[in-house]
């Protein structure tokens, strides 16, 4: 692991969270007993990491959350930095009101806040713009231009965490609300190893709520969950021997390794509270095997194969290791890593064609779930899942490296008409966080 790893923790549940009251940057709410337990679980989950610093906003709910995490991780309070720039959005006259009151009394302004947050104006201020200005200042000073690379933990708020992610990934400001971020959840963003001199970041996983069972369960029954027509679970197949050797597989029909089967059995347990109504998979055997493991574990009778879910076709790269490609086909590899939509790999599928293929898949899934509801598990591949996520979030193909997809992982998309919480979870798995942040995690 090289470069910066930024671990973003949303503070534990507060009295205001529990009652559905807007708290913003006020300091009245306090952590509930459940909120303290959430932070205890997070601290235990992170304790095997070598943390450089913990940052927290100055508000009591984040300071207390950060202190609990620091204590569990053995981080001295001298390495706990309080920074006012990490505070939550200033909601002014909305503070202390319940959401239903705001929707009733400020319907047009509230709609603007949910659909065009950067244009949201309240009391002659632009609260989201103010937030992003503060976050940009913090990132430039503490993260982007810091000489010391390592693991930095930031304990903050839903708004400030969203702003950090959007800023580092260079997402449009309209996407401020795309992440579901529950109380006590962990989101991780890492610096990518790229050929470019500029800093590039990749979202490793989001909205992970630590538990103490073997396979943390996917559970969205919280007050933060926004209504949707259903959910799409994007699963990347389990590991193959070629994955372990870091070979480009593409259309090569390679089965799961023993470790791949083991990890898929672990992931299959995650679906217990959200039994899917149907499973659809790629025609390649590594995806079919993975889908059948999930189906058998959750008593789902059948698996449907969809031919266009096949992996990106890598042409002459197929069967080559990443090291071989970077050494012998350097120009192509450089393009693929930095401007993938312009890469010309001989005999390969062009990324823009793959993007359009995945757009058709996404639109079909949406129509299905709008009509029938429930949920779909789609078992496919790295690039295909990345491109489906880009389509779901209305992002062009050049954003594929922003959303990590590892073997035996699941990402969850909500089917809805707005961006609000559309990415419920990214790249969830049952492995330890130390392994998930290592270079061995493929």
Q: Cite the active site residues.
A: 11, 88
17 annotated as ligand-binding: yes
Q: In angstroms, how far apart are the furthest CA atoms of the chain?
A: 64
16 annotated as ligand-binding: yes
Query: Of the candidates 298, 299, 304, which has an alpha carbon nearest to the alpha carbon of residue 279?
Result: 304
332 annotated as ligand-binding: no
Q: How buried is residue 94: exposed, middle or buried, by Cβ count under 10 Å (0-12/13-18/19+)?
A: buried
How far apart are the C-alpha atoms of 294 and 144, rounded to whole Å? 41
363 annotated as ligand-binding: no
Query: Of the candidates 160, 120, 119, which has an alpha carbon nearest to the alpha carbon of residue 139?
Result: 160
Q: Sheet containing 201-208: give its strands across.
A: 80-82, 51-56, 151-156, 5-10, 186-191, 201-208, 423-428, 409-414, 231-236, 375-380, 278-281, 303-305
11 annotated as ligand-binding: yes
Residues 6+ apart with CB under 8 A from 355: 341, 387, 390, 391, 396, 397
How far apart are the C-alpha atoms of 22 and 97, rounded to whole Å? 6
What residues are paired with 154 via a beta bridge? 8, 55
Between the alpha carbon of residue 46 and those of residues 86, 142, 153, 215, the distances in Å are 21, 21, 10, 16
305 phi, psi to nearest 5 deg: -100, 130
Q: Do 250 and 311 meet the contact criterion of CB atoms below 8 Å apart?
A: yes
Q: Do 367 and 390 meet the contact criterion of CB atoms below 8 Å apart?
A: no
61 annotated as ligand-binding: yes
How far apart are the C-alpha atoms of 262 and 440, rounded to whole Å? 16
What is the token pair recorded at 330? 């350097």
Residue numbers belonging to the annotated binding site for substrate: 10-17, 61
Give binding residues as ranges: 10-17, 61
């Amino acid at each position: 692991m090289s470069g910066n790893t930024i671990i973003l923790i949303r503070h534990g549940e507060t009295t205001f969270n529990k009652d559905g009251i807007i708290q913003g940057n006020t300091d009245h709410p306090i952590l509930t007993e459940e909120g303290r337990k959430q932070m205890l679980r997070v601290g235990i989950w992170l304790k095997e990491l070598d943390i450089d610093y913990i940052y927290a906003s100055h508000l009591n709910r984040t300071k207390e959350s950060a202190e609990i995490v620091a204590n569990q991780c053995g981080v001295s309070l001298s390495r706990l930095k309080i920074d006012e720039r990490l505070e939550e959005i200033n909601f002014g006259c909305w503070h202390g009101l319940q959401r239903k009151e705001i929707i009733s009394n400020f319907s047009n302004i509230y709609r603007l806040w949910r659909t065009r947050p950067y244009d949201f104006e309240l009391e002659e201020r632009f609260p989201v713009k103010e937030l992003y200005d503060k976050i940009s200042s913090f990132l430039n000073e503490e993260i982007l231009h810091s000489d010391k690379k390592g693991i930095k933990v930031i304990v903050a708020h839903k708004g400030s965490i969203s702003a950090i992610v959007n800023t580092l990934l260079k997402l449009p400001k309209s996407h401020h609300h795309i992440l579901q971020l529950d109380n006590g959840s962990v989101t991780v963003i890492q610096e990518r190893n790229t050929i470019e001199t500029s800093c590039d970041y990749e979202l490793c996983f989001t909205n992970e709520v630590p538990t103490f069972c073997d396979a943390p369960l996917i559970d969205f029954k919280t007050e933060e969950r926004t209504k949707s027509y259903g959910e799409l679970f994007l699963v990347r197949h389990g590991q193959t021997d070629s994955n372990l050797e870091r070979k480009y597989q593409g259309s090569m029909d390679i089965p799961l390794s023993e470790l791949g089967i083991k990890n898929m059995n672990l992931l299959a347990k995650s679906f217990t509270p959200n039994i899917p109504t149907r499973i659809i998979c790629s025609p390649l055997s590594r995806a079919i095997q993975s889908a059948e493991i999930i189906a058998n574990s959750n008593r789902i009778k059948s698996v449907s194969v969809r031919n266009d879910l096949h992996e990106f076709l890598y042409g002459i790269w197929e069967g080559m290791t990443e090291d071989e490609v970077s050494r012998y086909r350097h120009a192509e590899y450089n393009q693929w890593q930095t401007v993938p939509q312009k890469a010309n790999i001989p005999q390969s599928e062009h990324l823009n064609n793959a993007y359009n293929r995945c757009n058709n898949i996404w639109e079909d899934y949406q129509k299905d779930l709008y009509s029938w509801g429930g949920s779909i598990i789609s078992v496919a591949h790295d690039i295909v899942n990345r491109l489906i996520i880009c389509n779901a979030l209305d992002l062009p193909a050049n954003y594929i490296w922003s959303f990590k997809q590892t073997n035996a992982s699941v990402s969850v998309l909500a089917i809805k008409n707005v961006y609000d919480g559309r990415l419920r979870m990214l790249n969830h798995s049952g492995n330890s966080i130390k392994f998930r942040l290592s270079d061995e995690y493929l």
